Amino acid sequence: MAPSASTDRYAVMGNPIAHSKSPLIHSMFAQQTGQHMQYDALLVDKDGFEQAVAEFRQSGGLGLNVTVPFKQQAWSLAQERSARAELAGAVNTLDFSAGQCFGDNTDGVGLVRDLMQNHQLDLAGRNILVLGAGGAVRGVLAPLLQQQPNNIIIANRTANKATELAELFASYGNIEGMGLDAIPTKPFDLIINGTAASLQGDVPAVPTNCINDSTCAYDMMYAAQATAFMAWAQKQGAQKYLDGLGMLVEQAAESFYLWRKLRPETAAVIASLREQMHA
Ligand code: ATR
């Protein structure tokens, strides 16, 4: 659809940004729902985020997605924030439509929808192991706890980051933090990899008896091939090993809903992206 002066404009800001799939995802959502909108990927200088947002707003932009390394800055910039963004300490969606800068975080709901709706996993009463204690993990803990799992263990290479994060969320459910070497040696129902290890082709040092054939292994990263974590899980006997492509599309759908008040159909978009990744 050719942009015109009246086209509603959105974008994703990050650094790097060239490989972002968000413009493609949002253009599929727009086409599917008949929305006349433009969505660009904008590379922003590491120290130029605030100015880039101001310019985008002044030029009539209605909303932004924000990715690495600007999610914490976006949180600070927002004049008002959703409860889930407040807890996440990070903002991945900005909405300017009400005349002020509203910040939301759709990552956690994206993960939960992918697990529960796309993969039919029940989280209530389950024992969940979450690997990593950085921003990516912090963003998903509250929505996971809302599903009332029996227990969430956060395990991290640097143990104290995991214990601090668990303390921060202790009032929202049964959650513990520890080092990777302290993980109880019993099978978990679900293991979520929220570390950056897959980027380097690494797998966090997790005891192999955490996993059995009924464990679901979920990597928040995605790639055309199985990630190192997924390959490891498969080798340990897991029958279900999933990547984070569905989470990416679901978080985008929630941003789209915030901006356009319409819920796009995600299954066809996930399938189309998967197909293109394998082409
Ligand atoms: P993000 O915002 O993407 O979460 P981050 O805040 O830099 O990024 O956090 C990266 C996470 O991946 C951390 O939990 C990190 O562990 P440390 O806190 O010990 O640094 C984890 N991580 C990165 N590479 C790892 C590896 N090779 N093995 C295990 N954990 C790794």
pLDDT, tens digit only, all 279 positions of the chain: 455 557 999 999 999 999 999 999 999 999 999 999 999 999 999 999 999 999 999 999 999 999 999 999 999 999 999 999 999 999 999 999 999 999 999 999 999 999 999 999 999 999 999 999 999 999 999 999 999 999 999 999 999 999 999 999 999 999 999 999 999 999 999 999 999 998 899 999 999 999 999 999 999 999 999 999 999 999 999 999 999 999 999 999 999 999 999 999 999 999 999 999 988
Q: By alpha-carbon position, which residue is closest to atom 2 of ligand 1?
A: 135
C-beta of 197 in contact with ligand 1 (< 6 A): yes
Residue 66 · residue 74 · CB < 8 Å? yes
C-beta of 207 in contact with ligand 1 (< 6 A): no
C-beta of 57 in contact with ligand 1 (< 6 A): no
Q: Which residue stretches of the chain are H helix? A: 22-33, 49-58, 71-77, 83-88, 107-113, 135-146, 159-168, 228-235, 245-260, 267-278
**Cα–Cα distance, 6 to 232 (Å, whole number):** 50
- Residues identified as active-site: 71
pTM attached to this predicted model: 0.96
C-beta of 163 in contact with ligand 1 (< 6 A): no
Residue 11 · residue 26 · CB < 8 Å? no
Q: By alpha-carbon position, which residue is closest to atom 23 of ligand 1?
A: 196
Q: 199: how many CB neighbours lie within 10 A of its CB?
A: 11
Instruction: Please report the domains of the chain, with CATH numbers, ordered by start residue.
Output: 8-105 (3.40.50.10860), 108-245 (3.40.50.720)
Q: By alpha-carbon position, which residue is closest to atom 11 of ligand 1?
A: 195
**Cα–Cα distance, 13 to 11 (Å, whole number):** 6
Measured from the Cα of 202, ligand 1's closest atom is 27
**Cα–Cα distance, 187 to 191 (Å, whole number):** 9
